[in-house]
Chain A
Amino acid sequence: MTKSLPYLAAGVAAGVMLAGLSEGALQAAAAIGGDQLALFGEVFNKVRDNYAEKPDDDKLIKGAIDGMLASLDPHSTYFDPKALEDFQTSMKGEEFGGLGLEVMMEDGLVKVVSPIDDTPAARAGLLSGDLVTRIDDTPVKGLTLKEAVDKMRGPAKSSVRLMVERGANKDLKEYTIVREIIHVQSVRSHVEDGDIGYIRITQFNQEAYDGVRKAFDHFRSDLGSSKLKGYILDLRNNPGGLLNQAVEITNSFVDSGPIVSTRGRNADQEQHYSARPGVNLSQGKPLVVLINGGSASASEIVSGALQDLKRGTLIGTRSFGKGSVQTILPLGENGALKLTTARYYTPSGRSIQAKGIDPDIVVLENIPDDLKGKVSSLGEASLFGHLRNGTEEEKGSDAYVPPEKDKDTQLQAAINLLHGAKPETLKSPAPAVSSQ
Chain B
Amino acid sequence: MNRKVGYLGLGVVLGAAATVAAPQALSYMSPAAYAAAADTYRQLNLFGDVFDKIRSDYVEKPDEAKLIEAAINGMLASLDPHSSYMDAKAFKDMQVQTKGEFGGLGIEVTQEDGLVKVVTPIDDTPAAKAGILSGDIITAIDDQSTQGLTLDQAVEKMRGAINSPVKLKIVRGPKKEVKDFTVVRDLIRVQSVRSHVEDGDIGYIRITQFTEQTAEGLKAAMDKLHNDIPADKFKGYILDLRNNPGGLLDQSIDVVNSFIDKGEIVSTRGRTPDETQRFDARPGGDLSGGKPLVVLINGGSASASEIVSGALQDHKRATLIGTRSFGKGSVQTIMPLGQEGALRLTTARYYTPSGRSIQAKGIEPDYRVLEDVPDDLKGKDDMKGEASLKGHLANGDEDTSGSQAYVPPDEKDDKQLAAAIGLLHGVKPSETTSAKADKSDAAKVETPSAAAARTDAAKPN
**A residues near B, CB below 8 A?**
1, 21-23, 25-30, 32-34, 36-55, 57-72, 76, 78, 107-108, 141-142, 264-266, 269, 324-325, 327, 329, 331, 334, 337, 339-343, 384-385, 387
Contacts A/B (CB < 8 Å), 11 sampled: A26-B15, A30-B15, A33-B68, A37-B15, A49-B11, A50-B345, A52-B347, A58-B43, A67-B74, A68-B51, A264-B59
Q: B327 → chain A, closest Cβ, in Å?
A: 16
Tell me whether A71 and B70 are in contact (CB under 8 A). yes
Give the contacting residue for A39; candidates B70, B337, B451; CB below 8 A.
B337
Give the contacting residue for A28; candidates B16, B52, B67; CB below 8 A.
B52
Docked pose: A385 CA to B70 CA in angstroms: 13
Tell me whether B62 and A50 are in contact (CB under 8 A). no
Tell me whether A33 and B64 are in contact (CB under 8 A). yes
A29 with B55, Cβ < 8 A, contacts A47-B75, A49-B11 known: yes
Does B49 belong to the interface (CB within 8 Å)? yes
Give the contacting residue for A70; candidates B17, B39, B59, B74; CB below 8 A.
B74
Tell me whether B15 and A53 are in contact (CB under 8 A). no
Does B187 belong to the interface (CB within 8 Å)? no
Q: Size of chain B's interface in residues, with CB distance under 8 A?
A: 76
Tell me whether B330 and A52 are in contact (CB under 8 A). yes
Tell me whether B54 and A339 are in contact (CB under 8 A). yes
Partner-contacting stretch, out of B230-238, B270-278, B375-383, B407-415? B270-278
Nearest B residue (CB) for A34:
B15
Q: A2 → chain B, closest Cβ, in Å?
A: 12
Q: A184 → chain B, closest Cβ, in Å?
A: 28
Q: A426 → chain B, closest Cβ, in Å?
A: 37
Tell me whether A52 and B58 are in contact (CB under 8 A). no
Say whether chain A's binding surface is mostly helix, strand, loop, or mixed.
Answer: helix
Most buried by B among A43, A66, A76: A43
A45 with B11, Cβ < 8 A, contacts A22-B46, A58-B43 known: yes
Tell me whether B44 and A41 are in contact (CB under 8 A). yes
Tell me whether B390 and A70 are in contact (CB under 8 A). no
Tell me whether A39 and B270 are in contact (CB under 8 A). no
Docked pose: A68 CA to B77 CA in angstroms: 12
Give the contacting residue for B17; candidates A30, A40, A66, A108; CB below 8 A.
A30
Docked pose: A70 CA to B16 CA in angstroms: 26
Tell me whether A331 and B50 are in contact (CB under 8 A). yes
B residues less than 8 Å from A28 (CB atoms): 52
Docked pose: A42 CA to B342 CA in angstroms: 11
Most buried by B among A27, A50, A66: A50
Tell me whether A38 and B57 are in contact (CB under 8 A). no
Docked pose: A322 CA to B437 CA in angstroms: 52
Does B391 belong to the interface (CB within 8 Å)? yes
B residues less than 8 Å from A69 (CB atoms): 50, 54
Docked pose: A46 CA to B44 CA in angstroms: 14
Q: 8 Å CB contacts to A: which residues of B1-29?
A: 1, 4, 11-18
Q: A381 → chain B, closest Cβ, in Å?
A: 13
Docked pose: A42 CA to B42 CA in angstroms: 17
Q: A131 → chain B, closest Cβ, in Å?
A: 12
A residues less than 8 Å from B69 (CB atoms): 71
A residues less than 8 Å from B49 (CB atoms): 21-22, 25-26, 331, 334
Docked pose: A142 CA to B12 CA in angstroms: 32
Docked pose: A343 CA to B60 CA in angstroms: 10
A65 with B47, Cβ < 8 A, contacts A42-B338, A141-B450, A329-B57 known: yes
A residues less than 8 Å from B346 (CB atoms): 51-52
Tell me whether B271 and A327 are in contact (CB under 8 A). no
A residues less than 8 Å from B75 (CB atoms): 43-44, 47, 60-61, 63-64, 67
Tell me whether A61 and B76 are in contact (CB under 8 A). no
A residues less than 8 Å from B68 (CB atoms): 33, 36-37, 39-40, 68
Q: A30 → chain B, closest Cβ, in Å?
A: 4
Tell me whether A68 and B50 are in contact (CB under 8 A). yes
Docked pose: A43 CA to B13 CA in angstroms: 9
Q: A9 → chain B, closest Cβ, in Å?
A: 14
Nearest B residue (CB) for A142:
B390
Docked pose: A51 CA to B78 CA in angstroms: 12
A23 with B15, Cβ < 8 A, contacts A42-B338, A53-B393, A70-B74 known: no
A residues less than 8 Å from B40 (CB atoms): 48, 57
B residues less than 8 Å from A327 (CB atoms): 57
Query: Which 9 residue pairs spanning A and B have beta carbons closest together?
Result: A67-B74, A63-B78, A41-B14, A41-B13, A71-B70, A25-B52, A37-B15, A64-B75, A68-B71
Tell me whether A68 and B74 are in contact (CB under 8 A). yes
Tell me whether B59 and A343 are in contact (CB under 8 A). yes
Contact with A along B130-146 (1 / 0, CB 8 A): 00000000000000000
Q: 8 Å CB contacts to A: which residues of B48-101?
A: 48-62, 64-79, 83, 85
Q: B219 → chain A, closest Cβ, in Å?
A: 32
Does B114 belong to the interface (CB within 8 Å)? yes
Nearest A residue (CB) for B43:
A61
B residues less than 8 Å from A66 (CB atoms): 74
Tell me whether B18 and A38 are in contact (CB under 8 A). no
Q: B298 → chain A, closest Cβ, in Å?
A: 26
Docked pose: A182 CA to B79 CA in angstroms: 36
Tell me whether A38 and B13 are in contact (CB under 8 A). yes
B residues less than 8 Å from A78 (CB atoms): 50
Tell me whether A52 and B393 are in contact (CB under 8 A). yes
Give the contacting residue for B70; candidates A1, A48, A70, A384; CB below 8 A.
A70
Q: B448 → chain A, closest Cβ, in Å?
A: 8
Q: Known A-B contacts: A22-B45, A45-B12, A70-B74. Give 14 more (CB < 8 A).
A: A34-B15, A43-B75, A49-B11, A52-B347, A60-B43, A63-B78, A68-B71, A68-B74, A71-B66, A108-B451, A264-B57, A331-B50, A340-B58, A342-B59
A residues less than 8 Å from B390 (CB atoms): 108, 141-142
Docked pose: A414 CA to B381 CA in angstroms: 55
